Structure 1
Amino acid sequence: MKKFVLTGLLLSGIVFSGMAQSKAANDPKAKTVLDGVSNKFKSLKSVVANFVLRVEGAKNGVNDSKKGTVYLKGAKYKVTLPGQEIISDNKTSWTYAKDVNEVTINNVDQSSGAMTPAKLFTNFYDKDYLYRLDGETNEKGKVLQNIELTPTDKSKNIFKVIVSVDKKNQSIAKMKVFEKNGNHYTYEITSFTPNANVTDATFTFDAKKYPGVEVVDLR
């Protein structure tokens, strides 16, 4: 479950490859909010964001939370969670599991509709989702604009995503993913540092720093 939550949702699981939806079906107010987030992110050289991932299983079957950090620079990213790291330089991806000291290497599929951390902050919504503004809420001193996204491909396990945008800062504050099986996954951004000093070396896996690591190369 834990490995699926990270690799399956945050990085490559929110995959909707259905037909593009009609623009007329979308809420123009929601698009204005999402475009604001996308334009702001594109203007930044890099981002470091801390987040909390909360898992709620169907009928309270699973309840878990963990803290993580995501580093972003263009299409490159690195995600760290307790016991796991996922790194991509937009050509190669590395998934490291600490409990077995193993790293799995893959080529990045540029044609894939997969959701990556970089895509989350850009205009991922314009091809595979219908979206509408679902009002505003006040949380922790912030005014959040809540946008409901539903995939155009109804065969997928994920049937709804709620993206909450900080109205003042035009940045994503929270994202909640709803699965048909009743599981919910919430990603809450706890800090957001724009234009952080992030080197390109952050986005490659250096095996020398992991003594004895087993390499599984699937390229």
Structure 2
Amino acid sequence: MIKKTVFTGLILCGLMGGAVAQTGKNDPKAKAVLDNVSKKFKSLKSVIANFVLKVEGANNSISDSRKGSVYVKGTKYKVVMGDQEIISDNKTSWTYAKDVNEVTINNVDQSSQGMTPAKIFTNFYDKDFLYKLNGETTEKGKVLQNIELTPTDKSKPFFKVLIDVDKKTSTLARMKVFEKNGNRYTYEINSFQPNGAVTDEMFTFDAKKHPGVEVVDLR
């Protein structure tokens, strides 16, 4: 089974942070595509997306998948995947494990360059990656623009990220992370609902709604 820390580690903090300067030129065609994705997301009041996380181990040692949903409003977000929820109002973050009825609370580090669901749909590529357009493919009637990103910080546990952008809607369709140890993680966006119905209450954790919850407050 997929470890609960996989999503948190890769999506919330694994892809960004502490870049080391590296010479290299970015592809202006790739930047234009990525800029359009960022512009589209910033024009929306909210986003609801359903995804599938697929894990492939080195030498086919692991193969697993899990469905999830992400709700984003500005810098606030909520991720639901299996028995885990990750919630942030951009000041406080809550990680709730339903199977053990435990929630861990942290302050959000405003100076951190960590990846968040909001950044995935916007300008996460600006400072810490070199990127190029590898062409276009067609899947299920959709034209996807294929972009390859390589981290400027070579100490990262991954060496490459491939993303596919829906050319018609300028939305992220897929992200695949290649780790140095041979593991590969694919996040496939199955549905993308712009301006979906979300409320501010969704982006906080109410312990009263979870009787007996164990609270681990690390603030």
The answer to whether the superposition gives a TM-score over 0.5 is yes
The whole-number CA distance in structure 1 between the counterparts of 2:13 and 2:211 is 28
1:185 is matched with 185
Alpha-carbon deviation of 1:21? 5.3
> Cα offset for 1:4?
2.2
Counterpart of 1:76?
76
Structure 2, unpaired ranges of 5+ = none
With 33-42 and 52-61 compared, the bigger mean Cα shift is at 52-61
Aligned CA distance change for structure 1 residues 126 and 21 (closer, same or farther; 3 Å): farther
Residue 4 of structure 2: aligned partner: 3
| Paired AA for residue 133 in structure 2 | L
Q: Could you tell me how far 1:20 is from its partner in structure 2?
A: 5.2
Q: CA deviation at 1:15?
A: 2.6
SS at match of 1:168: coil
**Deviations for 1:105-162, whole angstroms, at most 9, x for unmatched residues?**
0011111111100001111101000000011111122110010000000011011110
Tell me, in whole angstroms, the C-alpha distance in 2 between the residues paired with 1:119 and 1:10.
Answer: 9
How many residues are matched?
A: 218
Structure 1: 5+ residue runs without aligned partners?
Answer: none
Residue 45 (1) aligns with residue 18 (2): no
CA contact 2:178–2:184 (8 Å) conserved in 1: yes
Q: Which residue of 2 aligns with 1:144?
A: 144
CA distance in 1, matches of 2:145, 2:102: 40
Contact 1:102 1:213 in 2 (8 A): yes
The 5 Å alignment of 1:11-26 reads: 11-19=12-20, 25-26=25-26
- TM-score normalized by the length of structure 1: 0.96
Tell me if structure 2 keeps the 8 A contact 1:16–1:114.
Answer: yes
User: What percent of counterpart residues are identical?
Assistant: 74
2:17 and 2:112 in contact (8 A); partners too: no
Match of residue 114 from structure 2: 114
Runs of 4+ in 1 over 4 A off after TM superposition: none
Structure 1 contact 165–172 (Cα < 8 Å) conserved: yes
Structure 1 distance, partners of 2:98, 2:110, is 27
Cα drift, residue 19 of structure 1: 3.5
SS at match of 1:125: coil
* SS across alignment from 1:136: strand
Looking at structure 2, the residues matched to 156 and 76 of structure 1 have their Cα atoms a distance apart, in angstroms, of 26
Whole-angstrom distance in 2 between the partners of 1:131 and 1:187: 19
Aligned partners of 2:21 and 2:153 also within 8 Å: no
- Between the aligned partners of 1:86 and 1:164, the Cα distance in structure 2 is 25
1:184-219 Cα distance to aligned partner (Å, 9 max, x none)? 000001011101111000000011121111000000
CA contact (8 A) 2:20 2:154 kept: no
**In 1: Cα distance, 2:5 partner to 2:85 partner:** 13
What is the TM-score when the length of structure 2 is the normalising length? Answer: 0.96
In the alignment, the residues of structure 1 paired with residue 155 and residue 168 of structure 2 have an alpha-carbon distance, to the nearest angstrom, of 36
2:98 partner letter: K
Contact 1:21 1:128 in 2 (8 A): no
What are the within-5 Å matches in structure 2 for residues 139-218 of structure 1?
139-218=139-218
Please say which of residues 167-176 and 3-12 is displaced more in the overlay: 3-12
CA distance in 1, matches of 2:10, 2:140: 26
